[in-house]
Amino acid sequence: MPSVVGLLEQRELGARRRVDELREEADRVQAELVVAEWEWKEWVIARSRVGEVLGPVDETEDYARTERAVPAQGQAGEASSASMAAKPKSEVPVWREGLDASALSMDYQRILQALADRHRLHQGPVTCQEMAVLFGLDTVPSKVEALRSKAKRLVARGWLAESAPGRFTLARNVAGPDGGS
């Protein structure tokens, strides 16, 4: 007959082995978690960078960048605080009766003007690639996609209509920046 102390030692040894196995598994899972978190953060950064590249160009950001590069005397503190501020985004208000195109930034007004001119000349819908050519931009994907993003935002806010996928016109009752519809 085995002794009670011997049985307890066997049970203790089994429990200790189980704890060691679980610790090894926990260490392995922790290492995998660290790698997975790093990969996830990299994808977040990549998406953010692509959003910056393909997003609308903000003219005020370019102005602020040149102002920070050459601060006037006595404005060194102001320039450094300006660089810490968040960059402003162009707001596109929802179109409603009586709202003028001047409520939009210049980039959006330029798109509306191009579409108003085409409407006035009875030329029909325009693609973003055609818009890039009209604006004298290179027809590289980053420029075309930036225009597409702006056009889609204008569609979502009721300023433009997308008559067919990727083909844009002025929305019904929307006047161009010069007041013509």
Q: Which residues of the chain are under the pLDDT cut of 70? A: 1, 56-90, 175-181
- C-alpha dihedral sign at 141, 147, 152, 153: positive
Report the predicted TM-score, pTM, of the whole model to 2 decimal places.
Answer: 0.49
- Class of the domain covering 101-170: mainly alpha
Judged by phi (left if over 0) then psi (alpha if -120 to 50, else beta), residue 95 lies in beta
- C-alpha dihedral sign at 108, 167, 116, 118: positive
Give bridge partners of residue 164 from the DSSP assignment: 167
Give residue 73's pLDDT.
45
Please give the Cα distance from 179 to 181 (Å, whole number): 7
